[in-house]
Amino acid sequence: MMDQKIFMVLDTETVGLEGHVYDVGYAITNKRGDIALERNWLVEENFTDPKKMMGAFYAGKHFTHYARMLQDGDIRLTPWAEIVGTLRADMLTYGVNVIAAYNAGFDFRVLRQTHADLGGTGAIVQQPVDVLDIWQFACETKLSQKSYARIARSLGWVSPAGNIKTGAEFAYRYVSGDPEFIEDHTALSDARIEVAILAECFRQKKSVPYGIINGAPWRIVNPQASDDAHVHGSKVA
């Protein structure tokens, strides 16, 4: 069908908030959450740079998660140019027409920055696509439900400022019914839970906020809140 939406749901792991993506993963899916393809890589130029990796979020994973994943063949070191080339080819092969991420503004920005820093040419995505922030979609649908507020407060999913948390880990706890879930913070693993969140958002039969990348959808859930780093646009959300 010409109007069918095919999503590339992607996630990144980074050095700080300024760029330097070292882990990128994505899943190609439909709105029901049926996954057609998964890929993940460690960005060779960044992951093998000790100075960069000292500042990475969850830097301890360098010696735990990733060492094991490399040994088991679950991920490989790959030059940035090869990653971008494969991503472009996958988009064409599978007819991707939506790029989606949880806190999409962050992921899109650090991908562009990494592309520039590592000498990439042209735009990463070279075809017309819609963009979708799954965080925005979740806050407009599942996380704005009264039952989420009740569960979040009862289980302590609240920031020091008293705001209900809306990060992917908490959204997935709610939609999966697993209040003990802990986000892995590797790119493909996180992309998988974002696929599940996206599918649950679509089941709500609400309008889809394509193109809205405002950086603060948590305010939908916390309309009276002041600025709070524990609930908005960073990898600590």
Q: In this structure, are residues 166 and 142 in contact, taking their beta carbons and an 8 Å threshold?
A: no
Name the residue range of residue 184's domain: 7-221
Structural domain contains residue 232:
no
Cβ count near 121 (within 10 Å): 7
Residues sharing a CB contact under 8 Å with residue 96, sequence separation 6 or more, in sequence order: 6, 7, 8, 28, 90, 129
- 237 lies in some domain: no
**What's the whole-model pTM score?**
0.91
- What CATH number is associated with residue 26? 3.30.420.10
- Please report whether residue 16 resides in a domain: yes
Residue 122 lies in a domain: yes
User: Per the domain annotation, does 174 fall within a domain?
Assistant: yes
For residue 1, is it within any domain? no
**pLDDT tens digits along 108-131:** 999 999 999 999 999 999 999 999
Helix (H), strand (E) at residue 144:
none
Model pLDDT, residue 19: 79
In the chain the first and final C-alpha atoms are separated, in Å, by 37
Q: How many domains does the chain have?
A: 1
Residues in the chain, pLDDT under 50:
1-2, 230-237
Alpha helices in 60-131 (DSSP H): 65-72, 80-94, 104-117
Domain membership flag for residue 112:
yes
Q: Are 166 and 221 in contact (CB under 8 A)?
A: yes
Is 228 inside any structural domain?
A: no
